[in-house]
Amino acid sequence: MSKISTQTLYNKKSIKNRNNCMTSTQDPSLLADDKRHVWHPYSSTHSDVPVFAVKSAEGVYLTLEDGRQLIDGMSSWWCAIHGYNMPVLNHAIRQQLDKMAHVMFGGLTHAPAVELCKKLVEITPERLETVFLADSGSVSVEIAMKMAVQYWHARQRPSKQKFISLKNGYHGDTIGAMSVCDPVTGMHTLFNDMLAKNYFVPSPTCTFGEPCQAEHLKELSLVLEGSHDSIAALILEPVVQGAGGMKFYSAAYVAQAKTLCEKYDVLLIADEIATGFGRSGKLFACEHANISPDIMCVGKSLTGGYMTLAATLCTKEISDFISDNPPHIFMHGPTFMGNPLACSVALASIKLLLSYNWQAKVERIEGWLSKGLEPCNHIEDVADVRVLGAIGVVELKNRVNMPKLQQAFVDAGVWIRPFGTLIYLMPPYIIEEPELNKLTNAIIDVINNGKHR
């Protein structure tokens, strides 16, 4: 399906649905039952942050149960890159559903998984030739860490079991992943005493587009020099540190970090869960640095936001060493690994992305974000404004008032989910300029009118 025909279909359906939904009324018992029984992510069961019931989603619009329309600036935590209710992705799931919804992956295989893995190997950086499918981004990080440790065990270097990661980094909420998240800002300080103790080096201070000097790598170099015999891998989010602060840093840092890893015999794990599939302006963010990691994690937008699925890719050297040495198997096996529905829609999502000039679209979004958010530079409460690819960030000087700000954005007809001191946008790639302008204007309005305090 071409870009034009897809968007035409979207626009016609969206207009029809928006006109039809305005007579909807919200069932008051739905939110009451939600409040009574449902525990939402990163929240308290006694939270005063409002929750809004969604009836349907189409294109870049979320339709609430009460009929209100919100332009989605979050891509549902960065995964719905094509927007919602995309016909070609719906078709992929329906077609697969008629064949089988699921089958165990132990001892069995199927075309959707095989074709997806082939496609991932084809589009990711060179040397990544083996794919291990997983359920979520956090699990893919756990797998990457286990791969690194088991690889060094196979190489007769069992002491290499620790990891280095960057401060302000975020890699997931499971136990292993938490151990490589920033121990102070990584939302997991409560669990520090039970987590494996790893190494942390400062977040790069060289910003995106700037050169990386020796002083920027000094602490990383010192840790590698002094402790490489105990370090299995360096894990980082290339170029964009996502949930740890939406920081954009120099691609040259990634390239030089890779060189240091090679010098000290340490693997490099690229966490591309947030940045993969075009978000930064490259298909994968490590392409900005022109490097190929030893292990790469992908997730979120892998399925276009339709189903949970992630993958960990590694070099043939890693998979061969693990397979050729005791215990001769990789010790991991998710029950829903390789789910056919998820693999089918992931393959369709990748093909859809590659079927049009997504680079030009992301570049246009970057320009619209830069123009739309520029006035924030002149607002007293704003500390910084930064844009990279289809990511726009307004960093405030103080933490936002979440209950007040969330309600203000919904009242403005947009869905923007701030956190900490950050108000940010990661819209679906199908968004057009008037819709993006509504998002950026809403941000300017709420800050100017003090609705964030």
Of the residues 354, 371, 406, which one is the last residue of a structural domain?
354
| 432 lies in the same domain as 348 | no
Are residues 344 and 248 part of one domain?
A: yes
Same domain, 333 and 246: yes
In this structure, of 23-27, 262-266, 285-289, 335-339, the range with the lowest mean pLDDT score is: 23-27
Residue 46 and residue 156 in one domain = no
Q: Does residue 413 lie within any of the structural domains?
A: yes
Helix (H, G, I), strand (E, B), or coil: what is residue 71? strand
Percent of the chain topping pLDDT 90? 88
Q: What is the pLDDT of residues 383-405, one digit of tens each?
A: 999 999 999 999 999 999 999 99
Does residue 77 belong to any structural domain of this protein? no
CA 452 to chain centre: 25
82, part of any domain: no
Out of 188-192, 399-403, 420-424, least confident range: 188-192
Q: Within a domain: residue 409?
A: yes
- pLDDT greater than 50 at residue 452: yes
Rg (alpha carbons) of the chain, rounded to whole number: 22
Domain count, the chain: 2
CA distance 142 to 178: 10
Model pLDDT for residues 29-75, shown as the tens digit of each residue: 899 999 999 999 989 999 888 999 999 999 999 999 999 999 999 99
Q: From CA 374, how far away is CA 363, in angstroms rounded?
A: 16
The one catalytic residue in 300, 424, 429, 451 is 300
Asked if residue 86 belongs to a domain, the reply is: no
Tell me, yes or no, whether 330 and 341 share the same domain. Answer: yes
Asked whether residue 104 falls in the same domain as residue 236, the answer is: yes
* Residue 42 a catalytic site member: yes
203 and 118 within one domain: yes
**338-397 confidence digits (pLDDT tens):** 999 999 999 999 999 999 999 999 999 999 999 999 999 999 999 999 999 999 999 999
- From 42, 99, 118, 397, the catalytic residue: 42
Residue 331 and residue 146 in contact, taking contact as beta carbons nearer than 8 Å:
yes
Question: Which of 72, 173, 271, 294 is an active site residue?
Answer: 271
CATH assignment at residue 444? 3.90.1150.10
297-344 per-position pLDDT tens digit = 999 999 999 999 999 999 999 999 999 999 999 999 999 999 999 999
80 lies in some domain: no
Residue ranges making up the domain that contains 49: 3-72+357-448
Same domain, 312 and 374: no
Please give the mean pLDDT across all residues of the chain: 93
The answer on pLDDT for 5 being more than 60 is no
- Quick one: pLDDT at residue 73? 98
Q: Buried b / exposed e across 129-145, counting CB within 10 Å, b at 16+? A: bbbbbbbbbbbbbbbbb
Alpha carbon distance 394, 424 (integer Å): 6
For residues 33 and 146, membership in a common domain is answered with: no
Q: Is the pLDDT of residue 17 over 80?
A: no
CA-to-CA separations, 275 to 74, 175, 248, 363, 450, in angstroms, rounded: 14, 22, 11, 15, 31
In a domain, 181, yes or no: yes
State residue 183's pLDDT score.
85
- Give me the pLDDT at residue 25, please: 60
Kindly tell me if the per-residue pLDDT of 280 is higher than 70.
yes
End-to-end distance of the chain based on CA atoms, in angstroms? 45
Q: Which amino acid is at 427?
A: P
* Cβ-contact 162, 196 below 8 angstroms: yes
106-120, 179-193, 299-313: which range is least confident on average? 179-193
Catalytic residue flag (residue 135):
no
From 329, 354, 379, the end of a domain falls on 354
Given 10, 61, 84, 170, which residue is catalytic? 170
CATH number of the domain to which 159 belongs: 3.40.640.10
Q: Verify that 115 and 197 share a domain, yes or no.
A: yes
Asked whether residue 189 carries a pLDDT value surpassing 90, the answer given is no
On whether residue 83 sits in a domain, the answer given is: no
DSSP code of residue 291: -
In our burial notation (b when 16+ CB lie closer than 10 A, e otherwise), range 1-32 reads eebeebbebbeeebeebeeebeeeeeeeeebe
- Split at pLDDT 50, 70, 90, the class of 192 is confident
Q: Which of 309, 326, 354 is the last residue of a domain?
A: 354
- pTM for this predicted structure: 0.93
Identify whether residues 16 and 97 lie together within a single domain: no
Residues 291 and 344 in one domain: yes
pLDDT at 18: 47
